[in-house]
Amino acid sequence: MSIFGKLVTLFRGTAHEAGEKIVDAKALTILDQEIRDAATQLDRSKVDLARLMGQSKLSENEIGARDRKIAEYSRYIEGALAKGDEALALQVAEKMAPLETEQNAARESKGHLDQSIATLRATVSKTESRLKQMRAQVDQVKATDTVQRAQAAIAARHSGTNSKMSSALGSLERIKARQAQQGAQMLAAEELETDAGDGDLNRKLAAAGLLEDSSSAAAVLARFKQPRQLPQQSAGLLPGTVPVADGDVLVGVITPRDSHN
Amino acid sequence: MSLSIHDIHAQLTQRYADDDGVRVELIEGLTPAVMVELEEYGDLDIIVASSGEQIVVSTILVPASQVKDVAGLNAACMRLNPINPLSNLGITTDADGVENYVVFGELSTRSGIDAIDEEIQALAANTIDAVEALRPYFD
């Protein structure tokens, strides 16, 4: 079974167990076993490869020697024929014929041998890269395990009264809360600005003698000129609240400033 | 040259020495890890750990206990993963048996500190995007 297959079987088997932590430990055991198996296979392949390469070298030497022998016989045959000694030539040719048959067989066998060597070489390099991948996977499992331990340590740290949810969901909530707070602060600042900058309204109110602290000469004079109109109205009102024509009360004019005292 | 977790801690600490919005801390334990807390991302904790040549940069998306639509979230994560080039989504179980949905990325210890820092920042941005997009599946 592939490593993937074994790991999935492992997850299925432990999906309902309370301590799912053992999955990682078992995953490491599986990977360690796979690595050992692959390493054993790699060693065996390398031994086989060395043996086959030795055989191939030997076979190459034999083929070379036979080639030289065949070349020698060829020269003899040519020499005998040149001298017209057909009987001698035939005698040499009879020696050479089985040698040529042998040579053809040897070449064919070496061809098979070299093919096996190429296949084995590919297997070795494939096993080596598989080992590398598995070792990286072991590292990944181990690093992930370290991450989880650190996360558990941080979670334990925040589990007291001063709890901070150490997840992105918690962070998102903090970001939103901070944005809301910033928004509120900006709004308050704007209100303060308006408040501070509502001199226009205040000026009009002061001009009309409606502001308590209005101390302009015009207001004072106006108050004296029409003493009956105002006292009864302002008496019942809170400072800073001003009645308007339709009966609504403008509380907002002063309150924001009060709330920031 | 390959970076140890202590190298990573030292170099990140140096990098953020003048930045009040980033807190770098070594979390001691069986094997130490580095925590980077980013104020800009709502104090999100990013954990960096390594083993052999492998570096994992990870953060918790949401504890599984806060997921109200597990099937919906799982399907959404499976669909998101292939089109999200920078980070992976997954489920892990921590040392106390607590299940978490995590967002993580991998690097080699041969990566420089710039690449690691880039991964941390990208992971944080990605994770906040993801949690906002996946909000309907949570409690």
Show the domains of chain B with their CATH numbers. 5-137 (3.30.1460.10)
**β-bridge pairing B88-93 and B54-63:** unpaired
CA distance A22 to chain B (A): 9
A39 and A73 housed in the same domain: yes
* A64, part of any domain: yes
* A140, part of any domain: yes
* A75, part of any domain: yes
**For residue B107, what pLDDT band results from cuts at 50, 70 and 90?**
very high
The DSSP secondary-structure symbol of B54 reads: E
Separation CA A61–CA A55 (nearest Å): 10
pLDDT digits (tens, 9 = 90+) for A173-205: 999 999 999 889 888 888 877 766 666 777 777
Separation CA A222–CA A208 (nearest Å): 8
A122 and A54 housed in the same domain: yes
* A237, part of any domain: yes
- B51 beta partners: B54
A84 and A13 housed in the same domain: yes
Separation CA A49–CA A28 (nearest Å): 31
CB contact under 8 A, B98 and A166: no
CATH number for the domain including A109? 1.20.120
A151 and A29 housed in the same domain: yes
* A69, part of any domain: yes
A187 and A208 housed in the same domain: no
CB contact under 8 A, A175 and B99: no
ipTM of the complex in this document:
0.92
A68 and A120 housed in the same domain: yes
A122 and A61 housed in the same domain: yes
**β-bridge pairing B99-108 and B88-93:** antiparallel
A55 and A171 housed in the same domain: no
Separation CA A182–CA A169 (nearest Å): 20
Q: Are A158 and A166 in contact (CB under 8 A)?
A: yes
pTM above 0.90, yes or no: no
Q: Bigger pLDDT: A1 or B105? A: B105
* A162, part of any domain: no
Backbone angles phi, psi at A43, to 5 degrees: -60, -45
* Domain region containing A177: 167-197
A35 and A108 housed in the same domain: yes
Model confidence at A236: pLDDT above 60? no
Last residue of a domain, one of A126, A157, A188: A157
Separation CA A222–CA A216 (nearest Å): 10
CA distance A102 to chain B (A): 54
* A124, part of any domain: yes
Q: How far apart are the first and last CA of chain B?
A: 45
A133 and A259 housed in the same domain: no
Q: Which residue in A has a C-alpha nearest to residue B66's C-alpha?
A: A169
Q: How many domains is chain A built from? A: 3
CB contact under 8 A, A150 and B43: no
- Model pLDDT, residue A193: 74
**β-bridge pairing B99-108 and B54-63:** antiparallel
A141 and A21 housed in the same domain: yes
Chain A positions contacting chain B at CB under 8 Å are: 18-21, 23-24, 135-136, 138-140, 142-144, 146-156, 164, 166-175, 178
